[in-house]
Amino acid sequence: MSAIVIHLPRSRGIAWPQAIAHQYRRFFNRIADWRARERQWQSLARLDDRLLADIGLTRQDRRPEWSTAFWSI
């Protein structure tokens, strides 16, 4: 997964406090994690029975994960 780099602007030559920069990074990293999880779950939803069997799952095993909202974990 790629990290998002945030460059915060300077105001009158004074750098933003580190705590604010940290919160921005956490927020955008959380969004990136959600998007990655959503893509993974969409891929899982598209697998047929044969491919699910290759990874040791059935449709019934997959359903709880697939039907859960990607941001709720």
The reported pLDDT for the residue numbered 56 is 87
pLDDT along the chain (73 residues), means of 10: 64 65 89 88 86 85 63 60
The reported pLDDT for the residue numbered 55 is 87
CA angle 3, 6, 10 (to 5 degrees): 165
Return d(Cα 45, Cα 51) in angstroms, integer. 11
Determine phi and psi for 14, rounding to 5 degrees: -105, 125
Is there a contact between 36 and 1 (Cβ–Cβ < 8 Å)? yes
**Residue that the structure tokens 């893509």 belong to:** 39
- Residue 15, CA distances (Å) to 2, 3, 28, 39, 69 in order: 25, 22, 20, 36, 37
The reported pLDDT for the residue numbered 1 is 56
The reported pLDDT for the residue numbered 27 is 92
